[in-house]
Homo-oligomer: A and B are copies of this chain.
Amino acid sequence: MTTETLPKQENADSAIGSHVKGYIERVRGGELGALPAVFGLIILCVVFAVLRPSFLSALNFANLFTQGAAVAVIAMGLIFVLLLGEIDLSAGFASGVCAAVLAVLLTFQGWPWYLAVLTAMVTGAVIGLVLGSLVAKLGIPSFVVTLAAFLAFQGVVLLLVKNGTNISIRDETVLAIANKNVPPAAGWIATAVGVAAYAALQLVQARRRAARGLVAAPMAVIAARVAALAVIAGAAVYMLNLERSRTAIVSLKGVPIVVPLIVILLIIWTFVLRRTAYGRHIYAVGGNAEAARRAGINVDRIRISAFVICSFMASIGGIIAASRANSVDPNTGGSNVLLFAVGAAVIGGTSLFGGKGRALDAVLGGAVVAVIENGMGLMGYSAGVKFVVTGSVLLLAAGVDALSRKRSAATGR
């Protein structure tokens, strides 16, 4: 049976059956990918929907996205640092600093929005450059460097927003990010284009591999994937294009602007991590820094760049948060933002030890965190009870995840 099984020969019977069987066996073998997080998410949604039917309303569905956006974006940046086995405790307050920079420039200095947003993003990148250099060049543990930054940035935000007041943001463009929606028609068009592009890409790739005699996904599998994407995206867009205003005067419908923003970021970072040499090197350094060094990879540069990406994404998260809050105050990026962002990444499946994780993890984990917060908000518990229940629900979601991984891992190792 298994005599000489170098990949080539499988090519012949690239039938659907074997592909599906392979997937099932991979899943049973412990390569679960996104399944456990999705599973946990579904259970959460069902529970909340049963307890509070309003959970399923169009309005709430739209709220979910804007509520979770900032954490998911920050988590996406954190993935890079976590992939290296490092940590960035300051990402939360870094987002606060960038938001404060944005607010000061917009409101006090009267800069146009594009310059202010750009400066905020550059601020993020510079922060990352400094943090990364301290970690990579001086060799101070990232926990300590970013703990120091965590404290310092807290102070910087305070200084920028002048001790306890807050800065309102009135720029319409910035406010639109987290508060306005894409016109329904545009939503449909973008979705259609996206699905078509995905289909084309898959087809071209399969063709090319088949032409070279490498294992390629069979047509039927590609069709199934494209169909799945189309259905999910279509359903979401349909839901978000429903009227959700409760008064007749204003109309409130369309995909919130943050949704395409997150989708674009997700595509970019997934591409970087999976399809570029840089992404490959990130995984290599996280998996075995010494092996990466011996392979001639400039480990320091990879480290620094990961921190740059992390703080850069934090700046985008900060901008979203500022937009959503219509203002920036000394607590922006504080409270539980950082823990939730790291938690989102870990729940999504990223390892804190490095070498394992995907950009999608941040979005999936961010969704879990957002659903918990959103659902708990509907329950109406008192402060103490709410904390306790939130903690338990989080544990439950993670437990489902862990158990399903464990179960299927029992067949392998």
Contacts and interface: CB of A to CB of B under 8 A. Distances in A.
Contact of A156 (B85, B140, B164, B384): B384
A303 to B, nearest CB: 14
A234 to B, nearest CB: 33
Interface in A121-179: 134, 138-141, 143-145, 147-159, 163-164
A274 interface: no
B342 A138 contact: no
Interface stretch (A3-11, A317-325, A396-404): A396-404
A391 B148 contact: yes
Interface size class of A (residues with CB under 8 A): 35 or more
Interface in A2-40: none
B144 A398 contact: yes
Contact of A399 (B140, B152, B390, B392): B140
Contacts of A157: 384
Contact of A138 (B87, B89, B384, B399): B399
A394 interface: yes
Given A339-B147, A391-B152, A391-B155, A138 B406 contact: yes
A382 interface: yes
Contacts of A353: 85, 353
Interface string A381-413: 011111111111011001101110110000000
Nearest to A340: B147
Interface string A331-366: 000001001001100110001110000000000000
A134 B154 CA distance: 34
Contact of A148 (B151, B159, B395): B395
Contacts of A149: 391, 395
B352 A384 contact: no
A395 to B, nearest CB: 4
A386 B139 contact: no
15 contacts: A140-B398, A141-B352, A143-B343, A147-B342, A148-B392, A150-B339, A150-B391, A152-B392, A154-B391, A155-B386, A155-B389, A156-B388, A157-B384, A158-B383, A353-B353
Given A138-B403, A147-B342, A164-B383, 4 more contacts: A85-B353, A138-B402, A155-B387, A155-B390
